[in-house]
Amino acid sequence: MSSAESDVMVVTGILPLFYGIFPTAVDEGPAETMTRNYVTRDSDGGRWFVKAHPAGTGLDAERQALELGRFARLGRIPVPVVRQALDGDLIAAAGGMAVTVTGSVENAETAEGGLSGARWAAVGETVGRLHRTLARHPSGPPRRVPAREVCDVQRDRQRLERLLARFAKKPPHVSGFPAWAQGIAARRLDALPAVAAMVKELPTSLTVQTIHGDLASPNLLLRGQRVAALIDFRPPGHRSPAWELGRIALDPRTVLAEPDWPTSLADAIAAYRTANPALPADELLAVPRIAAGLACSVHPPVRGRRRPGRTHPRTRGVRPQPACGHGRAVRAPAGSRGGAP
């Protein structure tokens, strides 16, 4: 029996014992950097997405991320339901792995094909409602900080140089993720002078608050012209909400494919402003500059890549969308997996 087959058997055993889910099928999904993923169908016809963490993984961060998604869901943000284990915990451990279970998102696609049409405003409105909801999170209210705490080009230069120095000491193979990451870091370093000129025009202070933390295109699911779900939250942390809006709205796949993207960005920002009027207008006007400043940092850390033409693993029943590397949330090569709020 292979290791993969053994893991499927462990998952098949955990689900009824710890979650009361009696699977009729457990299909292996795409592996991420730190997890193996599965899609299961239960005896009642329900579909669940199962994420399996190897033994020894620190689970506090995963638990906090799940709790943050549940908090957003209480604010009527479209987030897949988290299935609690029978003991009330969000994570169950047995057989050398720890497992989390979330609902599926049916007939949806990721935003990796870019935004167009009414999707711009739909995304802006959803992100605005998300930030308005998370502003009430127990981790603390929004606050203003000096702009350099959000976009510090000199700090980013030092971090990129250290990262490239480590690559130089141990050059990666010519193909694969490390070589790709090295190239991305080098290009970001080259772009820093232009970024420095842009961030000089930022407001002197910017808002930081609890945000999604990883709202890149693979983690935004769309159904038609509406947002179907936001997935894969990170643990609560105070960062710039304007940056998070810019990160998803100004994904390179969208900008390169949409000649009229400035007008569409204005639609997204207007919808965001209606949903979350608390964020100052000067920060919304600075969204492109803030997004550019953080796009050339080493944070969030890059985790992996998805090959072009793959559906997001939480979706099914949709056509594949082109994909390319972007930020932390870009996944390792992936197939399809189940996914619904």
Question: DSSP assignment of 6-55, as one string?
Answer: HHHHHHHHHIIIII---EEEEEE----SS-EEEEEEETTS-EEEEEEEET
What's the number of domains the chain is made of? 2
Lowest mean pLDDT among 68-77, 271-280, 327-336: 327-336
pLDDT at 33: 65
Q: Based on the domain organization, do 88 and 157 belong to the same domain?
A: no
- Sign of the alpha-carbon torsion through 308, 313, 314, 315: positive
Tell me how many degrees the CA angle 106-110-115 measures, rounded to the nearest 5: 125
Query: Does residue 156 lie within any of the structural domains?
Result: yes
Higher pLDDT pick, 217 / 106: 217
Mean pLDDT calculated for residue range 310-330: 37
Query: Does residue 301 lie within any of the structural domains?
Result: no
The reported pTM is 0.83
Tell me how many degrees the CA angle 11-12-15 measures, rounded to the nearest 5: 80
Do strands 47-54 and 36-42 pair parallel, antiparallel, or not at all (unpaired)?
A: antiparallel
pLDDT at 86: 96
The three-state secondary structure class of 229 is: strand
pLDDT at 304: 40
The three-state secondary structure class of 270 is: helix
Q: Based on the domain organization, do 172 and 265 belong to the same domain?
A: yes
pLDDT-based confidence at residue 175 (cuts at 50, 70, 90):
confident
Q: What dihedral angle (degrees, nearest 10) is formed by the CA atoms of 207, 212, 218, 224? A: -90
Q: In this structure, what CATH number is given to the domain that contains residue 245?
A: 3.90.1200.10
Q: Based on the domain organization, do 120 and 89 belong to the same domain?
A: no
From the list 50, 55, 2, 53, the residue with the least C-alpha distance to 28 is 50
Per DSSP, 330 falls in state P
Q: H or E stretch including 156?
A: helix 153-169
Domain that holds residue 47: 3-103
Per DSSP, 244 falls in state H
Which residues, including other chains, have CB under 8 Å from residue 260's CB and lie 6 or more apart?
none
Q: In this structure, what CATH number is given to the domain that contains residue 10?
A: 3.30.200.20
Q: What is the pLDDT of residues 179-236, one digit of tens each?
A: 888 898 999 999 999 999 999 999 999 999 999 999 999 999 999 999 999 999 999 9
Query: Does residue 326 lie within any of the structural domains?
Result: no
Q: What is the pLDDT of residues 9-39, one digit of tens each?
A: 889 999 999 999 999 999 887 666 678 889 9
Select from 37, 69, 103 the last residue of a domain: 103
Mean pLDDT calculated for residue range 41-54: 90
Q: Is the pLDDT of residue 314 over 70?
A: no
Mean pLDDT calculated for residue range 107-123: 94
Q: Based on the domain organization, do 99 and 188 belong to the same domain?
A: no
Mean pLDDT calculated for residue range 74-79: 98
Q: Based on the domain organization, do 117 and 94 belong to the same domain?
A: no
pLDDT at 30: 62
Q: Based on the domain organization, do 283 and 161 belong to the same domain?
A: yes
Q: Based on the domain organization, do 52 and 21 belong to the same domain?
A: yes
The CA distance from 36 to 51, in Å, is 6
pLDDT at 333: 30
pLDDT at 41: 92
